[in-house]
A and B are shown apart, each in its own frame.
Chain A
Amino acid sequence: MPFKRYVEIGRIALVNYGKDYGKLVVIVDVIDQNRALVDAPDMVRGQINFKRLTLTDIKIDIKRVPNKKTLVAALEAADVKNKWESSSWGRKLIVQKKRASLNDFDRFKIMLAKIKKAGVVRQELAKLKKETTA
């Protein structure tokens, strides 16, 4: 029941609405009750409403409003990219993106692969069944 992810300077958040939808940003300052100053390596530092952010588990060590160079260095040091892409949330997003970008031919190839895999699984299952009943 208690909160585990807090809004603090250095908290990594995911933008869930607006122009920067889907981007990971760092909270570098809190403006008031509703807004934060966020920054990311590929965007201009700007304000965003907390309602447009979803907090993640990742936090980096920075001082209030660092300059871009320091921010990028801190992100590299904390290895945010790899931590995110290996987390289950990050992996889910990557899979979603991949599925959305699939070609008609890719979808066909995936269908063939699924059928093949199911066939192999069913064979193994039949083998195991035979062993237990024997």
Chain B
Amino acid sequence: MYHKRGLWAIKAKNGGAFPKHEKKAAAAAPAEKPPKFYPADDVKKPLVNKRKARPTKLRASITPGTVLIILAGRFKGKRVVFLKQLTSGLLLVTGPFKINGVPLRRVNQSYVIATSTKVDISGVNVEKFDDKYFGKKVEKKKKKGEGEFFEAEKEEKNVLPQDKKDDQKSVDAALIKSIEAVPDLKSYLGARFSLKAGMKPHELVF
């Protein structure tokens, strides 16, 4: 073992003796008082869990500005521009609204096909959008009397707040400019994707 591990070479390198390292001075542990109470039975401690939550791994084909095809939901088949990935892992996406009616929206990566078409997204500021922006608004509970039931139903209608509409407009303004720079891209984004006869999805290049 001595020759196999080359210990003779280590000794020779260090001038005839094994290299010694000094022990690191251990930091003095703070003095603990003996506990006042010892539990009768041993309590099981849960195992330590060091996992951290992080957003879903983004496919390499999806980069800011990629055109995505949405596969499910009310916008299925729509081609849409990818803006950024939110901390929850969902993708922030916009139509743009003027072109195909898809607003600023969150979409799951699994329900999306990434095409290789990219749009220039440098003029767009998406810093302010996060998951809280898209969360459901918490309404204050109102005590309803019997007679007021029908009136209350009518008021349920959600009107989109004006600031959300303005956000949509500001994001889309820069996007639409870079989209119109590419010929046919606008009508491409306005059209829905569908499989036609003879198209084999596993052989198609997106």
| Residues of B contacting A120 in the complex (Cβ-Cβ under 8 angstroms) | none
**Does B129 reach chain A (CB closer than 8 Å)?**
no
Q: Would B191 and A103 count as touching, CB distance under 8 A?
A: no
Q: Would A103 and B184 count as touching, CB distance under 8 A?
A: no
Contact with A along B59-103 (1 / 0, CB 8 A): 000000001010000000001000000000000000000000000
Interface residues of A in 69-115 (CB under 8 A from B): 100-105, 108-109, 112
> With contacts A100-B203, A101-B205 known, is A109 near B184, CB below 8 A?
yes
Q: Which of A103, A109, A112 contacts B205 (CB 8 A)?
A: A103
Number of residue pairs spanning A and B whose beta carbons lie under 8 angstroms apart? 33
- Cα A109 to Cα B115 in complex, Å, equals 15
| Residues of B contacting A103 in the complex (Cβ-Cβ under 8 angstroms) | 115-117, 205-206
- Cα A108 to Cα B193 in complex, Å, equals 9
Q: Would A100 and B191 count as touching, CB distance under 8 A?
A: no
> With contacts A103-B117, A104-B69, A104-B117 known, is A112 near B187, CB below 8 A?
yes
Measured between C-beta atoms, what is the minimum distance from B124 to chain A in Å?
Answer: 20
Which A-chain residue is minimally distant from B191 (CB atoms)?
A108
Measured between C-beta atoms, what is the minimum distance from A101 to chain B in Å?
Answer: 6
Which A-chain residue is minimally distant from B204 (CB atoms)?
A104
Q: Which of A100, A104, A112 contacts B206 (CB 8 A)?
A: A104
- Cα A105 to Cα B187 in complex, Å, equals 10
**Does B10 reach chain A (CB closer than 8 Å)?**
no
Contact with A along B166-206 (1 / 0, CB 8 A): 00000000000000000011011001010000000001111
Measured between C-beta atoms, what is the minimum distance from A29 to chain B in Å?
Answer: 37
Measured between C-beta atoms, what is the minimum distance from B183 to chain A in Å?
Answer: 8
- Cα A105 to Cα B183 in complex, Å, equals 11
- Cα A19 to Cα B188 in complex, Å, equals 38
| Residues of A contacting B205 in the complex (Cβ-Cβ under 8 angstroms) | 100-104
Contact with A along B96-128 (1 / 0, CB 8 A): 000000000000000000011100000000000
- Cα A102 to Cα B115 in complex, Å, equals 11
- Cα A134 to Cα B102 in complex, Å, equals 52
6 A-B pairs with CB atoms under 8 Å apart are A103-B116, A103-B205, A104-B69, A105-B67, A105-B115, A108-B188
In the complex, besides A104-B205, A105-B117, A105-B188, 6 extra interface pairs with C-beta distance below 8 angstroms are A103-B206, A104-B204, A105-B185, A108-B184, A109-B184, A112-B184
What 5 A-B pairs have minimum CB-CB distances, sorted nearest first?
Answer: A105-B117, A104-B115, A108-B188, A104-B206, A109-B184
